[in-house]
Structure 1
């Protein structure tokens, strides 16, 4: 019977029949298995929810002369009974005797490699020990499911005792929302026992599993995507409540099952921003206990788990019960946020403060951005970090990086007619820009100067001016395609047009080498005024030294000194053309590999100097003047040695096309200068 036909009076009448029957009589008369977990409390009595509603529905079925199906859904039944004013109590398992010991952890250490589960590889006493740990985790999981302080119906899961009939490297249990079909796609509270001790973690589940049914896999993936979308808009009051409730030992980590240590993130806001991204699917808020601490904790480990889970209950409820709050992003698009991202250990950008201020001001004032500067100044990295901050702030749903080419036309950027997959006729296919607009993703265009700007951007000029454009193409339903900036008053009904809405926050972030500034004159003024041009200058010399020193910090002192001396001298030739520190970081890594284990001889240092110049610096000197070319030769000759001067001469003349005159004349100049110095 439909649930809305169940009344409070019907439930009260069913309670009277329930009171008159023994458990055996109830089981014999009503085929639906008991819940054993949820009970209705009324007049100091308790009623199993499945059995109680089975009585109600059996009566209704008899009254309507239909057969009672006998199925049950605890969570729907709980919702129904609560709506009728009946309180629900969870009958909780008792883990009061459950504790984990150092011996439990040593068992996993005994089997670092997974071995077949048989008496030959795993003695019976170890098999029993594994099963004991597993049973304890099952009890903890059931207790956590019923004890966590949340209105969300939960379910629990425990790892497989013998995965693929082999020993396990660790065992875990978790509780997660009952509305999610698979724990790998849900926010969950988990306990992991391994040779390292215990890890209590709050995590999004990973977003991957071994589901083979395509429909179920797609449904689970959609649930995970919805979770990550909610993580981008957690209200500040929820963030504050969680941070205040978490134990001081909690660490914000990139993944579970990492070595215990300080977290990669300093705040819940930063962690949420990471967990909401594709690469953050395994992010974890973790509390660690080593084997000794775990044994010392005894049964208190269960309280630590429950207290941590209860601390994040507001986050669970927002993600699975709350309405999305796009006006409360996990971070702001501001100078502090951009600087914080740029200076994270994996980036270590050393940029002028004015760069951060200029970028944020341009984006927030409605401009698209072109970053200019010498090669190697981290323009592309900065462009992607700008987009990452925008995603964290709820301004976009990610970004796509592409490199411009001379072949670009509106066919590649906007779209055009292409053969149908069926082979029958042509159809319009979105180009790169339209694809990203539909997905609300920002676009990063590297080396914009490679393209013919006006030819590649086409109708996008008008859109960048916040004016609607009707493209000369139709979609599969023969509707004209319209690019419609937000706030446009012109109305294009969906029934007549394929409308691509362009959010006010949508941006293009492009990069351009400063050497190509002359190409700016090839850009129409119509395009130029739609972008803010922001220079990313080279930093001071000491910043170069600091950055490349970090790359070779693991080398011996002798090697560090040798590589530092070479890079310092190569830095000197950047007076002819500015080259950013990223190039020198690459050179430092190359030099470290080249050096090997033995000290560098003089000849090896000269050869390394030549290889670094040829592989990393030479292309940057294209277009250098003849006088500067001669100066470059003399400076490099002193670094690569007389034995390499012929190679150096041929390289500069053949690759850069410099007319340096006869090699003998350059040698004569050097000889004359040396005599004068003497």
Structure 2
């Protein structure tokens, strides 16, 4: 029978300042050792007898003589056996000190005396991976754990905190903080003062076991076997987002009187699924913002009333830093305890909502995003989108509150369920995008043809109407499709399970990418690994969402990706890129890489290419890219300068 009493707590009170172990009285030394022995026995019993789902556990107990001095507390913990060092793991701990006992589910300190740099990097990688998983725990799991906790539990930024108030409003908010780089030592704690500890008797051991059982779902999700196997693209068991769903979305948006072609809508949705950052460019009034807004409303409108699935944020010309996106600490407004208010934004509210509901998609629509330099206000997002590192928010001593009571941690990870759509107009009041921005996005150009303009003039319907929400389950199915595609290695996107015909077409995709690389490299404009991976992901999704997979053709998605991923980064003078544009046009015309490279190397030869509309090749291999390149060639010859976005 393991118990702890008031007398155990009093021994810590006799040494409020840590002293040399030699200065500790013999009787007190024995008490410290006894406390440590009981904690060690308890943690080893629990790790051996209590199962945390599929997670094997190990035990750790602190020494009674840390650094040869008297202890301020003595603790034990159980944590996953797969983690070599408990400081880099989430764990369940019991701490005995002068104040009584604290039982908590907590994050490790994230620091330890690990001499080998390689070992330390591996431990840091384990912790980073665990944090990433915790941000994706489904709400039903989090809510189930929270319901098991009583009001006596406190959400804290650190163990050892005074048991006076909680610092987060919910377990989800605490998880968002604990999953950030500032989340080391964050804890969900319950406290027992010395008298309560004495009255508990041997029930303290059962409280410890009960805490482990309560938080097992979180440990299972972060460390369990279910997450150890890499995810693969597979049919969704409940609702599948497939070609029929895609058609339903197109019909729903068309019913609002939005002027859009089915092929264009498909490219937009596939681009979002392949990479959660899409830029829509084109003349003002073509429906760029409305497409983004109506799609978000269609997909998320059928969710709960509390679910705000999208936000349209107009970008201002005065956005010179990220405060208009992620907010800032407002020292002029303070709470009752003299803590500054965090000045929130619509974008930050959406970000926090996305973190709170990781199984649902959210859409941030940045309207006219090039009214200011994108790198000035969006650089943190661009970096976090790729690195999966946290976006820093503030450096105050503890999490802050917005005016409406939302908790804002020191940093937040970029949610993988957040989709960013930017709309772009080009005139004398706007700024061009840097290659860094364009390389991370699919750029889709809105164009109104003569036939579309004529049809619009003769239509009898009124203005835009509201969109009918998609059936329940579509939003979650879309997000599952996106996550599966993103998390599948590029080498697995070869569609190996399909027919030889499809295999041959995938080889054609690979060949086209190699040829494009060779042509672009002549002018030092070649793409890198990220572009290759994202193009292959787009190709897979185009096949997966194809209505007639037996007649699927590889050149259609490759044409779209040349148009959306390769050409947008090309801009400059005729001398710099004139022959390159001609070489790419020749390649898109017939797929002949040798002919294309000869044009890329010879500017005189390139000038013989006739890009005028009446002289263009009637059946190019990549028609959309070919047409755009011919237009850019005409523009660069006329103006001596050209860019994709004009």
Instruction: Report the TM-score range of the alignment, normalised by the length of the smaller protein.
Output: 0.3 to 0.5
Greater C-alpha Rg: 1
Higher relative contact order (CA 8 A, sep 6+): 2
TM-score w.r.t. length of structure 1: 0.43
TM-score w.r.t. length of structure 2: 0.45
